[in-house]
Amino acid sequence: MAASQNQKELYEFGPFRIDPEKETVIRAGEIVSITPKNFQILLVLIRSNKQIVTKDDLMKTVWPDTFVEEANLSRNIFMLRKALGETAQDHRYIVTVPGQGYRLAEDVRLVPEQELTVVAASRSRLEVEVKETKPWWWIAVAAVLLLALAVGVSRYIFRGKAVLGPTDTVVLADFVNSTGDPVFDGTLRRGLAIQLEQSPFLSLISDQRIQHTLGLMGHSANTKLTSEVARGICERTGSAALLEGSIAPLGNQYVLELQAKNCRNGEVLDQEQIQAAKKEDVLNALDQMAIRFRKRVGESLATIQERSTPLAEATTPSLEALEAYSTGWKLHTTTGSVAALPFLKRAVEIDPRFALAHSTLGREYANLDEFGLSLESTTRAWRLRERASDREKFFIDANYQILATGNLEQARQTCEAWARAYPRDAVARTMLSGLPNKAAARYEQAIVSARQAIELDPDFAIAYYNLAVNNAYLGRFDEAENVLRRAAGRGLEIDEYLMLYYDLAFLKGDIADMAQAATRARDRSGAETWIADKEASALAYSGHLRQARVLTQRAIDQGMQAQQPERTSLWEAGESVREAFFGNAVEARKRANGALKLSNNSEVEYGAALALAVVGDARAQALADDLEKRFPENTIVQFSYLPVIRARIALNNNDASKAFEILQVAAPYEFGSPHELIGALYPVYVRGEAHLAAPQGSEAVVEFQKILDHRGIVVSDPVGALVHLQLGRAYAMSGDTMKGKASYEDFFRLWKDADRNIPILVRAKSEYANLNH
């Protein structure tokens, strides 16, 4: 079967002609859309000429330097059969040999060079055929045309030497759709973006940054990215290249074009054109254009071969499902989660196996605190993750680990592997600057990741928030404010900024700035409930409990009106903890029960269980057992929530030794910030209470002092106020009456205008009076 060294190697089997040099498969004069890996598999089968090729040999040949699972081979065989036109019932060309491998069913013929059919490169738009004829003048004409083509291509390749560099970015314009079919509107751009994002070499300007830049240019977020508008974005973002695509009808077929231009001088860097025989082939054509572009701009063949999952496999084979997803994604970046939801739900209704859409839907539900729906969608995506590209698998895995299992160590490892595999991906770094590092108090590492994310995408709003809040956790309040000012200087503003502005003003004791941040938040739809809860916490911190209850009830009412029961349950759970710490057992039970009626997510169940444990309610044990059973992998549940609840129950049973033992498991996470609604440093606080129960006054002082030393983590949590009282008790127990009185007096100054009937205040005054006798 081997061709001679001087003869061009061409094969035929069935209706197909295969050109190994050009990596093309031709059927009835038309190029068959096929990925590089599929072509390599086909070539191995062809050269074996009906002989069985084992699965192991295929994997070693096609993926020589990479470990792949057998499922990867099976998936590629499936895609190859589909490209060749086989059906699930009729394997006409490729036969599966059970337990062994695969073989070609058709006889293979080596084609003599005289039969060469040349389909000229798409850039030249030239087609020449040399049939089985002898006239030399035809050969001469073909030679001249081929020579002209070679000269044109060589010039094009030479000009293409100015490839993209390792720091260059690319702007992707909207496709020009002249087919009259709206299914291509927005869909092809998002599809091409997903394909190009598989490349660790390329860096596309994110949609969020595009929307932000449009605003700076005086355009609305929904402005169509025409060539002129996109070039303006390209120039403002300092990008190197602009990608312009188009799709047009050609009889019953479609022609897709892609042109890359230098943003500064308009020079054409690359131009691709490909035909799709029918509508169903458009996604395959998009695959081929993306691969060709990646080759032209300098990406290595190794990474292209390794990371070029076909779009139909990386997303969905349904154009309609991809259209719905594309619309949902655009609304996510321009309007928000609520607007995006119907389209993302539509995408998974059309194609229930659309893994990326399920994962994105799960993330949107999480943004709206719809924890049950988020769990369902992210879990579904994870089970379908083989139907995704490598990059999207990282996204799906990280979402699943953070939002479903809660295994934050796995999430951290996933995001670190993602960052190594895709060194120009800002999303991986942003995730690393969030919960996977914050919960374990790795604030410095989170800061490094946030800075890297901002360097990669200077308009990534949430990365600025993560950078600022992690600095605040470390007590660097001025640095946190500077970060927020940098974000504001770029015209960025999100709800999280306003909440952090409020917290920083609270930590500085700046009442005017607190009021200003609250006013700004109430002017933003969706932020008013969050700021009401923030204001309630601040009021309760200074003992103004009646006013705090009014604001919390307002947040609860607004949440119910917005039909957000799970978000509402968070406010009630938080209030139940506050009431329990302040000694209001009846109110604590009422709020805990109300929260549990709305949701049983881990945060709410923890808040309710802790409140009940503090007031000595036996139901706390059952809730703790339920948390352990339902969230076996959840880092925060296992290493923070459960130790706190169970240690508090042990103290109710006068067993301080058991409380110490239980809290040991929380030590590596006790300075983490697992969530901003229901407390931080609670393991430290409860350990201090255990030392008081021991009684070990000096040891209790050490624990309670830790809370005063980490105000940026505690902020307005009730333990931040009560720790002054606890220090007074600890000093008094250790025999230092002077410091004990001073700490009690610190508490009384903080609560100088507090509601008089709060049980913890009444008890504190009695204790202080006894110190003076």
Do 643 and 767 sit in the same domain of this protein?
yes
Region 136-145: mean pLDDT is 44
Looking at the fold, whether 175 and 55 belong to one and the same domain comes out as no
Q: What is the pLDDT of residue 123?
A: 35
Q: How far apart are CA 151 and CA 121, in angstroms?
A: 12
Residues 199, 291 within the same domain? yes
Model confidence band, residue 141 (pLDDT cutoffs 50, 70, 90): very low
Residues 622-667 pLDDT 10s: 999 999 999 999 999 999 999 999 999 999 999 999 999 999 999 9
Domain boundary among 272, 287, 306: 306
Q: Write down the mean pLDDT value for the chain.
A: 88
Residues 95 and 180 in one domain: no
97 and 204 fall within a common domain: no
* Domain membership flag for residue 462: no
pLDDT value of residue 676: 60
Q: Of the given ranges (10-14, 429-433, 708-712), which has the lowest mean pLDDT?
A: 10-14
Structure confidence at residue 678 as a pLDDT band (50, 70, 90): confident
**In the listed set 306, 321, 355, which residue is the last one of a domain according to the structure?**
306
Q: Identify any residues that bridge with 97 across adjacent strands, giving them in sequence order.
A: 101
**pLDDT at residue 8, rounded to an integer:** 64
The larger pLDDT score, comparing residue 269 to residue 170, is at: 170
* CA distances, 249 to each of 179, 355, 712 (Å): 5, 31, 61
Q: Report, as an integer, the average pLDDT of 248-254.
A: 91
Question: Among 90-104, 226-240, 619-633, which is the least confidently predicted range?
Answer: 90-104
Tokens of 525: 């739809």
**How much is the pLDDT for 7?**
53
Least confident of 79-93, 210-224, 508-522, 689-703: 79-93
Instruction: Identify the pLDDT of residue 89.
Output: 60
Which domain-ending residue is among 114, 134, 152?
A: 114
pLDDT for position 65: 62
Lay out the sheet containing 53-54: strands in order across. Answer: 53-54, 101-104, 94-97
Q: Which residue has the higher pLDDT, 264 or 633?
A: 633
Whether residues 193 and 102 fall in one domain: no
Whether residue 97 sits in one domain with residue 2: yes
Confidence check: pLDDT of 66 > 70: no
Map residue 758 onto helix, strand or coil: coil
Task: Say what the alpha-carbon torsion angle 740, 707, 580, 542 is, to the nearest 10 degrees.
Answer: 70
Amino acid 501 reads Y
Whether 758 and 545 have beta carbons less than 8 Å apart is answered as yes
The HSE-up count of residue 22 (CA atoms within 13 Å, CB side) is 19
pLDDT band at 55 (very low <50, low <70, confident <90, very high): confident
Residue 42's domain is classified under what CATH number?
1.10.10.10
| CATH number assigned to the domain comprising residue 299 | 3.40.50.10610
Q: In this structure, is residue 585 part of a structural domain?
A: no
- In tens, the pLDDT along 603-633 reads 999 999 999 999 999 999 999 999 999 999 9
The tokens of 438 are what?
């914050």
- Assigned domain for 243 exists: yes
pLDDT for residue 132 is more than 60: no
Q: What average pLDDT does the segment 89-105 reach?
A: 81
Q: What is the mean pLDDT of residues 133-153?
A: 44
Tell me the per-residue pLDDT of 441-499, one tens digit each, with 9 for 90 and over.
999 999 999 999 999 999 999 999 999 999 999 999 999 999 999 999 999 989 999 99
| Residue position matching structure tokens 């606080």 | 685
- Please indicate, yes or no, whether residues 105 and 205 belong to a single structural domain of this protein: no
pLDDT band, residue 301 (cuts 50/70/90): confident
pLDDT: is 676 or 718 the higher one?
718
Count of domains forming the chain = 3
In a domain, 435, yes or no: no
Domain containing residue 762: CATH number: 1.25.40.10
Of 744 and 561, the structure prediction assigns the larger pLDDT to: 744
**Complete DSSP assignment for 158-180:** HHTTS---TT--EEEPPPEE-SS
Six-digit token string for 87: 């059906």
Return the higher-pLDDT residue of 134 and 602.
602
Is a pLDDT exceeding 60 seen at residue 721? yes
Is residue 177 in a domain? yes
Q: Which amino acid is at 543?
A: G
**Residue 651 domain-assigned?**
yes
Which residues, at least 6 apart from 60, have a Cβ–Cβ distance to it below 8 Å? none
Full domain range(s) for residue 77: 1-114
Tell me which residue of 10, 9, 11 sits closest to 107, measured CA to CA: 11
Judged against a pLDDT cut of 60, whether residue 128 lies above it is answered with no
Residue 186 has pLDDT above 90, yes or no: yes
Question: Is residue 672 a contact partner of residue 441, using CB atoms and an 8 Å limit?
Answer: yes
Q: What is the pLDDT of residues 373-419, one digit of tens each?
A: 999 999 999 999 998 999 999 999 999 999 999 999 999 999 999 99
Q: Does residue 468 form part of some domain?
A: no
Burial of 223 (0-12, 13-18, 19+ CB in 10 A): middle
Length of the chain: 773
Q: Assign 112 a pLDDT band (cuts: 50, 70, 90).
A: low
Percent share of the chain, pLDDT over 90: 67
What gap in Å lies between CA 418 and CA 428, rounded to an integer? Answer: 6
- CA separation for the pair 450, 429 (Å, rounded): 6
The span from the CA of 527 to the CA of 520, in Å, is 9
Query: Is residue 547, in this structure, part of any structural domain at all?
Result: no
pLDDT band at 5 (very low <50, low <70, confident <90, very high): very low
